[in-house]
Amino acid sequence: MRHIISVLLENEAGALSRVAGLFSARGYNIESLTVAPTEDPTLSRMTIVTTGSDEVIEQITKQLNKLIDVVKVVDLSDGDHIERELMLVKVRAIGKDREEMKRMADIFRGRIIDVTDKDYTIEVTGTGSKLDAFLNAIERSAILETVRTGASGIGRGDRVLRVQ
Amino acid sequence: MELTGAEIVVRCLQEEGVEHVFGYPGGAVLFIYDELFKQDKVKHVLVRHEQAAVHAADGYSRSTDKTGVALVTSGPGVTNAVTGIATAYMDSIPLVVITGQVPTHAIGLDAFQECDTVGITRPCVKHNFLVKDVKELALTVKKAFYIACSGRPGPVVVDIPKDVTAARAEFRYPETITMRSYNPMIKGHPGQIKKAIQALMKAKRPMIYTGGGVILGGASEELTQLVHTLGFPCTNTLMGLGGFPATDPQFLGMLGMHGTYEANMAMQHCDVLLAIGARFDDRVIGNPRHFFEEPRTIIHIDIDPSSISKRVKVDVPIVGNVREVLQELIRHLQATRERLDAQALKDWWTQIELWRGRDCLKYDRSSPLIKPQFVIEKLYEVTSGDAYVTSDVGQHQMWAAQFYKFDKPRRWISSGGLGTMGFGQPAAMGVQLAHPQAPVACVTGEASIQMCIQELSTCKQYRLPIKIVNLNNRYMGMVRQWQEFFHGNRYAESYMDALPDFVRLAESYGHGGMRVEQPEDVEPALREAFGRKKDLVFMDFITDETENVFPMVPGGKGLSEMILV
Q: Which residues of B are catalytic?
A: 50, 112-113, 162, 478
Is there a contact between B302 and B219 (Cβ–Cβ < 8 Å)?
A: no
ipTM here: 0.93
Is there a contact between B314 and B289 (Cβ–Cβ < 8 Å)?
A: no
Whole-angstrom distance, CA of residue B375 vs CA of residue B544 = 11
Q: Domains along chain B?
A: 2-170 (3.40.50.970), 190-356 (3.40.50.1220), 372-542 (3.40.50.970)
Q: Could you tell me which chain B residue has the CA closest to the CA of A11? A: B181
Q: What are the chain B neighbours of A25 within 8 Å (beta carbons)?
A: 123
Q: Is B306 within 8 Å of chain A by CB? A: yes
Q: How far is CA B234 from the centre of its chain?
A: 20
Closest to A17 (Cβ–Cβ): which among B122, B181, B306? B122
DSSP category for residue B189: P
Residues of chain A with pLDDT under 50: none
Give the per-residue pLDDT at B55.
98
Is there a contact between B226 and B244 (Cβ–Cβ < 8 Å)?
A: no
Closest to A71 (Cβ–Cβ): which among B119, B147, B181? B181
Is there a contact between B506 and B512 (Cβ–Cβ < 8 Å)?
A: yes
Instruction: Write the CB contacts of B446 (distance below 8 Å, at least 6 apart in sequence).
Output: B470, B471, B472, B473, B474, B496, B499, B502, B540
Peptide bond before residue B426 is cis, with ω within 30 degrees of 0 = no
Is there a contact between B274 and B247 (Cβ–Cβ < 8 Å)?
A: no
Is there a contact between B94 and B68 (Cβ–Cβ < 8 Å)?
A: yes
Instruction: Write the CB contacts of B488 (distance below 8 Å, at least 6 apart in sequence).
Output: none
H or E element at residue A45:
strand A43-51
Closest to B118 (Cβ–Cβ): which among A10, A14, A66? A14
Give the per-residue pLDDT at A96.
87
- Closest to B306 (Cα-Cα) out of B92, B550, B77: B92
Strand-pair category, A2-10 with A70-75: antiparallel
DSSP category for residue B67: P
Whole-angstrom distance, CA of residue B468 vs CA of residue B470 = 6
Residues of chain B with pLDDT under 50: none
Q: What are the chain A neighbours of B180 within 8 Å (beta carbons)?
A: 71, 163
Q: What is the pTM of this model?
A: 0.96
Is there a contact between A75 and A5 (Cβ–Cβ < 8 Å)?
A: yes
Strand-pair category, B20-23 with A81-92: unpaired
Give the per-residue pLDDT at A164.
76
pLDDT digits (tens, 9 = 90+) for B261-294: 999 999 999 999 999 999 999 999 999 999 999 9
Instruction: Write the CB contacts of B337 (distance below 8 Å, at least 6 apart in sequence).
Output: none
